[in-house]
Amino acid sequence: MGGVVKLLGTWTSPYAMRPRIALNLKSVHYEFLQDPYGSNRSLLHEYNPVYKKIPVLIHNQRPICESMVIVQYIEDVWPTGPSLFPVDPYDRAIARFWMAYIDDKLFPSLTGVGRGEPGAIEQAVTVFQHLEENFEKCSKGKSFFNGEAIGLLDIALGCFLPWTRATESILGMKLFDPAKMPCLAGWAERFCADDAVKKVMPSTEKMVEYGKMLHAKYNPAPN
Amino acid sequence: MGGVVKLLGTWTSPYAMRPRIALNLKSVHYEFLQDPYGSNRSLLHEYNPVYKKIPVLIHNQRPICESMVIVQYIEDVWPTGPSLFPVDPYDRAIARFWMAYIDDKLFPSLTGVGRGEPGAIEQAVTVFQHLEENFEKCSKGKSFFNGEAIGLLDIALGCFLPWTRATESILGMKLFDPAKMPCLAGWAERFCADDAVKKVMPSTEKMVEYGKMLHAKYNPAPN
């Protein structure tokens, strides 16, 4: 199944990174439409009237919204290429459980860390610790949560690596310490080395610069 | 695929109702383990150490947690019987989008209505209105969001009908008015008339009684 594929997003958005990685893994050519709150604002409102949020995948002019809904759609529509889901139903359920856990717990805690909320660092470390403890169970000794190749759970977590690293760099501390979380550290290295990921993953320096710009915008210096 | 199936939950929980309906639709026999915070507390902690929440499906002694993960697992493991998902990938994506929307918006707003939070009634009505407007698009003129038979999106929404009706009865108002939301009203009637649903759906009277008991427990009369 081919057709015209467009993605509405920004280069900084972890959620937009998810379909971008999935499309790269499936070797699907797509047009990346940026500036969703400026020049492409009307597209965003037309295609995601409920949330008015990115990412939005536009496949043959039909919109699909919500990042994990989009990546599951990509898996359904382009079944050829690497499978993004384990074959066994129980393994699929475990992957779905952790995908939901990441969205439920990791993003709020990372946002909290950025805002300096009390307890947020501990919460983020707990999330990473849970994932460290469950890496072997999911990967069964292979390279990724999904097995030999990157899958949906890897994408769900991996998209937060740029923000995590930028946060660590700005705060001068580790949210996941390779000495304490060796499985996750090894996984992160392999994930970032994959061609499908390399193409979309911004450098830590670029994310730090963006983070500082955001901070200055929302916390202007007093006159 | 058979095996021993147990479900940890309570009769009042909308989230436990989801796998119960799905198992009934697939004609899977299961043991319903209640009292998860009392006599079955150790089972809950063993099988859902991350959240310690119901429902938990225990299939051949392996746990699956989170209601929508469980119902997708049920669909994957017992593919015979009625299909709980649309066949077309785009229709599946639309169903997944609304399933996520219900969990994201409906439960918090219904809880807010119960607590008398300002704006919660309007929020719940908006959710139902969005679903009313999208019923035709999902059902394509058929009986359910899923088409001819009940599917995952029907289950995701339908499990909130007992709480919705009890809330309406207690407050003496309508959260979805049949005159303004005829599609949803017709759908609710058909959903509740299905044998798989009838077996698990408590009466409005029973839910009202339970709601009043909860209210008295958390708001004791002053001495």
pLDDT, tens digit, for every residue of A88-126?
999 999 999 999 999 999 999 998 998 889 999 999 999
What's the CA gap between A5 and A30, in Å, rounded?
A: 5
> How large is the ipTM?
0.93
Closest CA to B83 of B133, B154, B1, B5: B154
What's the CA gap between A96 and A85, in Å, rounded?
A: 9
Q: Cβ–Cβ of A93/B70 closer than 8 Å?
A: yes
Which residue type is seen at A199? Answer: K
Residue A64: list chain B partners with CB under 8 A: 90, 93, 97
> Which pLDDT value is given to residue B223?
64
Across B4-17, average pLDDT? 97
What is the nearest CA distance from A89 to chain B, expressed in angstroms? 6
- Residue whose pair of structure tokens reads 């915008």 in the numeric block: A217
Residues of B with CB under 8 A from a CB of A: 50, 59, 62, 64-66, 68-70, 72-73, 76-77, 89-90, 92-93, 96-97, 100-101, 130
The model's pLDDT over B75-91, given as tens digits with 9 standing for 90+, comes to: 999 988 889 999 999 99
Closest CA to A161 of A202, A133, A109: A202
What is the nearest CA distance from B125 to chain A, expressed in angstroms? 14
The beta-carbon neighbor of B76 closest among A64, A65, A89 is: A89
The model's pLDDT over B140-193, given as tens digits with 9 standing for 90+, comes to: 899 999 999 999 999 999 999 999 999 999 989 999 899 999 999 999 999 999
Tell me the percentage of chain B whose pLDDT exceeds 90: 85
Residue A59: list chain B partners with CB under 8 A: 90
What is the nearest CA distance from A91 to chain B, expressed in angstroms? 10
Q: Where are the alpha helices (DSSP H) in chain B?
A: 14-25, 41-47, 67-77, 89-101, 107-114, 120-139, 152-158, 161-171, 182-193, 195-198, 204-218
- Residue whose pair of structure tokens reads 């919460």 in the numeric block: A123
Rg (CA), chain B: 18
Tens-digit pLDDT string for chain A (223 aa): 579 999 999 999 999 999 999 999 999 999 999 999 999 999 999 999 999 999 999 999 999 999 999 999 999 999 888 899 999 999 999 999 999 999 999 999 998 998 889 999 999 999 999 999 999 888 989 999 999 999 999 999 999 999 999 999 988 999 989 999 999 999 999 999 999 999 999 999 999 999 888 878 877 777 6
What's the CA gap between B95 and B147, in Å, rounded?
A: 11
What is the nearest CA distance from B77 to chain A, expressed in angstroms? 6
Give the full edge-to-edge strand order of the sheet including B31-33. Answer: B31-33, B5-8, B56-59, B62-65
Tell me the percentage of chain B whose pLDDT exceeds 70: 99
Closest chain B residue to A64, measured at CA: B93
Residue A68: list chain B partners with CB under 8 A: 100
Give the full edge-to-edge strand order of the sheet including A56-59. Answer: A31-33, A5-8, A56-59, A62-65
What's the CA gap between A4 and B32, in Å, rounded?
A: 48
Tell me the percentage of chain A whose pLDDT exceeds 70: 99
Q: Cβ–Cβ of B96/A130 closer than 8 Å?
A: no
The model's pLDDT over B95-124, given as tens digits with 9 standing for 90+, comes to: 999 999 999 999 999 989 988 899 999 999
Interface test with A, best of B15, B18, B66, B152 (most A CBs within 10 A): B66
Q: Cβ–Cβ of A93/B69 closer than 8 Å?
A: yes
What is the nearest CA distance from B204 to chain A, expressed in angstroms? 31
Residue B74: list chain A partners with CB under 8 A: none
Burial code of A37-52, b = ≥16 C-beta within 10 A, e = fewer? eeebeebbeebbeeee
Q: Is A8 exposed, middle or buried (0-12, 13-18, 19+ CB in 10 A)?
A: buried
Q: How does residue B1 score in pLDDT terms, banded at 50, 70 and 90?
A: low
> Which pLDDT value is given to residue A216?
81
Q: How many CB pairs under 8 A join A and B?
A: 58
Q: Where are the alpha helices (DSSP H) in A48-178?
A: 67-77, 89-101, 107-114, 120-139, 152-158, 161-171
> Which pLDDT value is given to residue B217?
81
Q: Cβ–Cβ of B66/A92 closer than 8 Å?
A: no
Residue B84: list chain A partners with CB under 8 A: none
What's the CA gap between A139 and A135, in Å, rounded?
A: 6
The sign of the CA dihedral B116, B118, B121, B123 is negative
What's the CA gap between A100 and A117, in Å, rounded?
A: 23
User: Which secondary-structure segment (H or E) carries B31?
Assistant: strand B31-33
Residues of A with CB under 8 A from a CB of B: 50, 59, 62, 64-66, 68-70, 72-73, 76-77, 89-90, 92-93, 96-97, 100-101, 130
Closest chain B residue to A92, measured at CA: B73
Residue A66: list chain B partners with CB under 8 A: 96-97, 100
Across B18-47, average pLDDT? 96
Give CA separation, A11 vs A201, B82, B200, in Å.
Answer: 8, 42, 47
Mean of the per-residue pLDDT values for chain B? 93
Rg (CA), chain A: 18
Closest chain A residue to B1, measured at CA: A89
